[in-house]
Structure 1
Amino acid sequence: MAAEPARQQSNALLSIGQVLARLQDDFGDLTPSKLRFLEEQGLVTPERTKSGYRKFSQANIERIRLVLTLQRDHYLPLRVIAELLEELDQGKDPIIPGASPRSASSILAPRRVLSSEELRRSTGASARFLGETIAAGLLPAAEVFPHDCVAQLTALMKLAERGITPRHLRAFRVAAERDAELISHAVSTRGVKSTTPHGAEDSMELAGYLETVRSGVLRRRVSGA
C-alpha cells in the first residue's frame, strides 16, 4: 500500500517550481522565464488551471529535458529543435545533426511518450474518441502513450470514418490477449522468463511472426483468394 501514493504523485501535474526542482540539477541555468519562453516558442504545452497557472505532465518534463539536452550538448538552435520535435510527434525517427545513430536513439528514446492531449493534437482525435479506443482495450489506459499510438489512433480514426468503430474492434483485444498468452507459454517452455531481456526479445520476435501470419490471412480473406 505504501507504493500507491508515490505512484499517484509521479502521475500528478507539477507546478513550475516543481519542474525546476526536478531539472535544475542537470540544467543549472533553467529558470521560470526560460520555461515560459519554451512555451511561447511552441516547444512545450503545459496544461492550465482555471486560474491560469501552468501545470506540467511527465511527458512535458521529458520534452523539456530533451530540448535542453539538444541545446546544451548539440548546440542546436530552437528552430532545428522544433523541427525534430515535429518529426517525433509524427512518429518518425529524426536525425540529430552531428550525432551518431546510436547516440541519437539514446537521446530521443525518453521523449517517445505523449500525454493524452499531445496524442489528440497529433492525430486530431477528440477526447471522446480517444476514450472509446481506451475503453475498447485498443490503446492503453495510461497517463502517457508510446509514440506508436499516433499511428494506431490515426488508423482507428480512418476505420471509424468507414463505419468500423472501436466498439466493433473489441475482439482484437481479446485476440491479442490470447496471442500474448500463447507467446508467453512458448517462451516459458524454453526455460526463459518473459520478464528477462532475452525473454522479452524472444517474445517480440514471436509477436512479429504472428503479426505476419495474421496479416496474410486477413488480406487473403479480403481479396477472396
Structure 2
Amino acid sequence: MKKILMVLTSHSGMENTDGKTGVWLGEFTDPYYEFIDAGYQVTLVSPKGGRPPVDPVSELTENITGSNRRYQDDEAAKTAFSQTHLLNQVKSEDFDAVFYPGGHGPIWDLAQDNNSGILILDFLDAGKPVAAVCHGPAALISADRQRPGFLKGKIISAFSNTEETLVGRSGNVPYLLQTKLEELGAEVKTALVPFLSHVEKDGLLITGQNPLSAGPAAKALIDLLEGS
C-alpha cells in the first residue's frame, strides 16, 4: 500500500483584517479522497500538530464540494484531521509522496518552516514526488532557502496575482505568491481564465493553481506513482 503524507498549515491570521484563514477545506478533502479511493494510506501533519485552522470562507455553501460533504459524514477522516501529527517528527523515507494543500496559511508558516523545506528536498532527492496546490506551493520557498537556486527554472503553478486581487485579499498577505516564486526564478504558469483548473508537472514536482486544481493535482500525483 502506497503511503501519502499531507502537510497542512497551522496558521490562521491574516494581515490588516480580523478575517481568518487556514486550510482551504476542499483542497484537503478533494485530494484526500482521491488518495483514499486509490487505496493509499494517508498521514496528516502540520507544524503545530492537532487540528489545523480551516478558512471559514471555504466552508460557505458556494465553496462546498462533494468531498466536503463526504468528509462531514466520515468520522475517521475528521478524527485524523483533528489529530494531525507534528511535521518535525516525520521522515520522507516512510512515505511514497507528499502533498501540500493550500488556503492562505502556508504563505506564512510553511514558507518559513525549515523542517518542511528539508522534507521537500528529501523527497525529491530520493526520487519521490512532491505536489502542492493553490497557496501550498509557498512551501517551495522554504526548500529554496535550504538550497538556494532550487526554484530557478522550475515550471510550476500557484494561486495567481490576478486571483489574489479578485478574492480581495491582496492587501491581507505579506507578499503575492506568484510574484515571490517568480523572483526566486520559477516560471509560474496559470490558466487563461482565473479560477479554472490548471496543473503543471515538472519532473517529480506537481503543482496546481487554485481550489479547482486540487483534485486534478492529486490525480496527476497518483498517475505519477502508478507510472501511467
Give me the TM-score of the superposition, normalised by structure 2: 0.22
Structure holding more helix per residue = 1
Name which one, 1 or 2, has greater alpha-carbon Rg. Answer: 1
Greater RCO (Cα-Cα under 8 Å, separation 6 or more): 2
Give me the TM-score of the superposition, normalised by structure 1: 0.23
Structure holding more strand per residue = 2
